[in-house]
Structure 1
Amino acid sequence: MSWMDDGGFEMQTFTAQDGRKMARMVFRTSTGQYDVNLTKTEVQRIRREYTRTLKEMEADK
């Protein structure tokens, strides 16, 4: 099982104090837990980078 399957990575949505919808990326490692709060725009940028990376990985097959 990978660290993602074991609960080492999680994404959640929440509402910020100013009413905006946000996302929280949570990484759990042996040295602690790290939370990263993201705006919708930041999530979209990450998605584009992951999509690009996956396409490159598929092209290498």
Structure 2
Amino acid sequence: MNWMDDGGFSLDAFNTVDGRPMARMVFRTSTGQYYIILTKTEVQRIRRECNRILKEMEADK
């Protein structure tokens, strides 16, 4: 198993008290856990960057 399968990374959606959609990204390492709270816009930006990188990786094949 890799670090993602072992629970080293997770991404969960939730709503704030006032109803805004947010995401919680968690990285678990040997030195601790790191929580990052993201807005919907930030998740969309990350998705765009991931898609861009995937296209570059596919082009390199």
Q: TM-score, normalised by structure 2?
A: 0.93
**Partner SS, residue 47 of structure 1:** helix
Q: Structure 2 stretches of 5 or more lacking a match? A: none
The runs of at least 4 aligned residues of structure 1 exceeding 4 Å deviation read none
Q: CA offset at residue 2 of structure 1? A: 1.0
Residue matched to 1:30: 30
| Deviation for aligned residue 1:21 | 1.1
For 1:1-40, what aligned pairs fall within 5 Å after superposition? Answer: 1-40=1-40
Unaligned runs of 5+ in 1: none
Counterpart-to-counterpart distance in 1, 2:35 and 2:24 = 6
Write the deviation string for residues 3-46 of structure 1: whole angstroms up to 9, x where unpaired: 00111000111111332010000100000000100010000000
CA separation in 1, counterparts of 2:6 and 2:59? 29
State the identity as a percent: 75
Q: Which residue of structure 2 aligns with residue 44 of structure 1?
A: 44
The TM-score with structure 1 as length reference comes to 0.93
Aligned length: 61
